[in-house]
Amino acid sequence: MGETTIRLGNRGHPVTHQHLDGKVRDGRHHMQVRVYYEDTDFSGIVYHANYLRYMERGRTNHLRLMGAEQHALFAEAASEAPGFAFVVRSMTLDFLRPARMDDVLDVVTWPIAVKGASIMLAQEVRRGDEVLVKADVRVAFISGGKAQPIPKPLRDLLKADVV
């Protein structure tokens, strides 16, 4: 097994496992995913909606490895913006090539821009050097059902990683 990094969260549970959460290289988060039978459709290729799951995990683990443990972030942001949430505002996908059962995929995530109430991210799902899916994702920060400015500590953390 690879190197393991463990930090304890608010409830004493491990929050970061290097071998599970991926790693950040050159400002980009890389996370591996193996394709299982359950991920495929009747033709044996990855069902298109499963790429959304892989990318969601990539975005979550990207934040986690940047030190933005979600429980702590939520607690801090809740004081500034009660009832807040991150929501995917828009997503553009380009399916270039299929993945198949037993493929090991690399989900790559990186921020493009951090604005007042939204974050633009780029994501790719790769098999080796081959790009299978590309995505541009706009995530909005909302509170009380309306877009709100991203709290400064979180905005600063995300901007530090913009390449």
Cα 80 to chain centroid, rounded:
23
124 token code pair:
């790719």
Report the amino acid identity of residue 84: F
Which residues does 161 contact at the CB level (< 8 Å), separation at least 6?
24, 27, 66, 110, 111
Q: What are residue 45's DSSP bridge partners?
A: 100
Q: How many other C-beta atoms lie within 10 A of the C-beta of residue 51? A: 22
Which residues does 45 contact at the CB level (< 8 Å), separation at least 6?
98, 99, 100
List the catalytic residues.
Answer: 41
Distance (Å, whole) CA 58 – CA 139: 14
Site of tokens 């299982």 = 36
Question: How far is CA 21 from each of CA 29, 43, 44, 98, 117, rounded to the nearest angstrom?
Answer: 9, 30, 27, 24, 26
